[in-house]
Amino acid sequence: MSDLVELQQDEDVTEFSMDAAALGDLLGSRQKEMRAEWSRLEWIQRHIDGRIARTWMPEGADAEYKDLLRKASTPWLQYARNALAQGLFVDGFSDDDLWKQAWQANSMDGRQIKVNREVVGLGKSYGMALPGENGTVVMRPMSALHTFAHYADPWDEYPEWALYRTAKRGASYWDSSWYFFDRECWYRFTGSPATPQNLEVCRHDLGFCPVVQLSNTLDSDDAPESSIEAGIKPWKRIVDYTFTLSMVMRYGAFPQKWMAGGEIATDDQGNAMIRPSVDSLLHASGDSGETARFGSFQAANIADVVTGLESAKADLSAVLQIPPHYFMSKVINMSADGIEAEESPYFRNLEERKASLSEGYELWMRTAAAVLGKQALAQDTNVEVHWLDQRTRSLAQVVDAIVKLKTVGAPDSLLFAFIPGWTKQDVLDATASAARLEQSEQQILAMQATETAAEPAGNIDGSTEES
């Protein structure tokens, strides 16, 4: 965070800040609570990443068996999370100046992608806004996997304080680099929360902790709900079916051989000298070899396992409200109406996510306004973020709607926002260009009116009246 104002330690800062001992007492008393929350989120993240922590396997499972199990863990939940997050993209804000000074100046078009993914996957994420150099504002996302925020009241907009873990430095989990934020100052230190070392402090003079929680659901009683956690059990069934399919393809897709009677040659330790495989040949030795009988079992039906796998994917689709054709491997010819019907639950789900997530982004932008000294805007609860419309619409339909809305006096800034693929900057440029064009036309009309008024009135015979 090199863009932040330089850390300083003077009398003014010391008056409003905590020393290392006081900070250690505060954070040390919450250390168990922090670890419990981070462990809960890490458990969800492991499943999203497709990592199976513990699973049953038969005693004496060989390396081939373990390899098949490892390959069966496909990260379908990660794909589902991204499919939802890709429908969430903020591309505008009510105040154009703040949009440029805060959002675009901090590259939030790109940074929001990770925030939206985490909000969908883990249920929440965090963001901070602090004074930067030369009167600017620094906005940075903070992962919920490394952030702990303490709220005095569940309905508060801002936490009392927040702790952010940046990177692991030593062998111990708690031996890291840390940032701490409260109502008056922000701190940087190393070591553990209970024993801060190399403490540096800087005032931000905001009067509140400049950390914002962005939530997937707004509920004061419980932690924000993940949109992906409900899909963990269906995903595990997909893993089971995928592993079963791999086993069947490896061991059951070809006829298994059998032999009755006779003896198989063994080595000195009594182990069979051949191992049944696709291209192996069974041979019965000894005196009873002449009476041995050979045969093969029927090959396994792979199609039945594939049907079960597709059924498990359909369950995951229904639970997460994601169109089933997003998960299916086969391309199915569908009409436009059919696709719209399949995707309607998906877009309803997105609208719910936007309703909750908008509040966090709006508060984050208002916090940035407070940092920039725009107090009226910081207190304005009517500001809104604008979401990019991801629905598929033809350009002809959009243009027709824009022309009709223009006839009733709708402003250009709203009409241009309907054009598919246009960013907020495109809308601002087009609006400014349209305003310049309209101003030029008005000036031309005014000049023409002035010239007409200056011309002497003519009589019927072509003569002019003297003034």
pLDDT digits (tens, 9 = 90+) for 7-16: 444 445 666 6
Residues 260 and 216 in one domain: no
Residues 67 and 119 in one domain: yes
Query: Could you tell me if residue 356 is inside a domain?
Result: no
User: Average per-residue pLDDT in the chain?
Assistant: 82
Query: Could you tell me if residue 210 is inside a domain?
Result: yes
pLDDT of amino acid 467? 40
Residues 240 and 195 in one domain: no
Residues 214 and 236 in one domain: no
Task: Say if residue 128's pLDDT is above 80.
Answer: yes
Task: Say if residue 44's pLDDT is above 50.
Answer: yes
Query: Could you tell me if residue 359 is inside a domain?
Result: no
Query: Could you tell me if residue 89 is inside a domain?
Result: yes
Encode 96-118: b = buried (16+ Cβ within 10 Å), e = exposed.
Answer: eebbebbbebbebeeebbebbbb
Residues 169 and 142 in one domain: yes
Residues 20 and 76 in one domain: yes
Last residue of a domain, one of 176, 200, 224: 224
Residues 157 and 252 in one domain: no
Q: What is the arithmetic mean of pLDDT over 431-445?
A: 78
Query: Could you tell me if residue 1 is inside a domain?
Result: no
The band of 218, judged by pLDDT with boundaries at 50, 70 and 90, is confident
Residues 157 and 66 in one domain: yes
Task: For residue 148, count other CB atoms closer than 10 A to its CB.
Answer: 21
Residues 235 and 103 in one domain: no
pLDDT of amino acid 389? 78
Q: How many domains does the chain have?
A: 3
pLDDT of amino acid 159? 95
Residues 123 and 183 in one domain: yes
Domain range for residue 408?
A: 394-455
pLDDT of amino acid 5? 54
Query: Could you tell me if residue 182 is inside a domain?
Result: yes
207-216, 220-229, 413-422: segment of lowest average pLDDT: 413-422
Last residue of a domain, one of 224, 240, 274: 224
Q: Distance between CA atoms of 42 and 11, rounded to whole angstroms?
A: 41
Residues 180 and 241 in one domain: no
φ, ψ of residue 151 to 5 degrees: the values are -105, 130
Residues 207 and 141 in one domain: yes
Last residue of a domain, one of 195, 224, 253: 224
Q: What is the arithmetic mean of pLDDT over 306-328?
A: 88
Query: Could you tell me if residue 358 is inside a domain?
Result: no
Query: Could you tell me if residue 351 is inside a domain?
Result: no
